[in-house]
């Protein structure tokens, strides 16, 4: 295994990490900004008002994006294990 193949595997790993972590983080960011805007407009400073919508939106995002995340991670794992088998066989 040469340096270019190692760099390719690392790049693919970083892309998988972004695909898996990006959407839930974006959902939490958007909901957090909306709740903060609502709190600023209404001047209601309640801690649970900031936490509960974010937690519910994050759970909904994980339920909706779960199949995509599972297929992405399993595809990368299969490719990585196939590459490891090819290296071990040579």
- Write the CB contacts of 44 (distance below 8 Å, at least 6 apart in sequence): 38
Which range has the worst mean pLDDT, 38-42, 57-61, 68-72, 83-87? Answer: 83-87
Residue 73 pLDDT class (50, 70, 90 cuts)? very high
> What's the total number of domains in the chain?
1
User: Coil, strand or helix: which one is 1?
Assistant: coil
pTM value?
0.77
List, for residues 16-48, the tens digit of each pLDDT value: 999 999 999 999 999 999 998 988 898 888 877
Q: Is the pLDDT of residue 1 over 70?
A: no
Q: State the residue range of the domain holding 43.
A: 3-89
In Å, what is the CA distance from 90 to each residue of 5, 78, 83? 15, 18, 11
81: left (phi over 0), alpha (psi -120 to 50) or beta: alpha
Question: Among residues of the chain, what percentage have pLDDT more than 70?
Answer: 97
């Amino acid at each position: 295994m040469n340096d270019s193949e190692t760099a390719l595997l690392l790049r693919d790993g970083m892309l998988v990490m972004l695909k898996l972590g990006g959407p839930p983080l974006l959902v939490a960011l958007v909901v957090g900004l909306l709740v903060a805007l609502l709190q600023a407009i209404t001047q209601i400073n309640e801690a649970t008002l900031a936490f509960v919508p974010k937690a519910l939106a994050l759970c909904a995002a994980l339920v909706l994006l779960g199949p995509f995340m599972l297929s992405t991670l399993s595809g990368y794992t299969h490719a990585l294990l196939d590459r490891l088998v090819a290296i071990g066989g040579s």
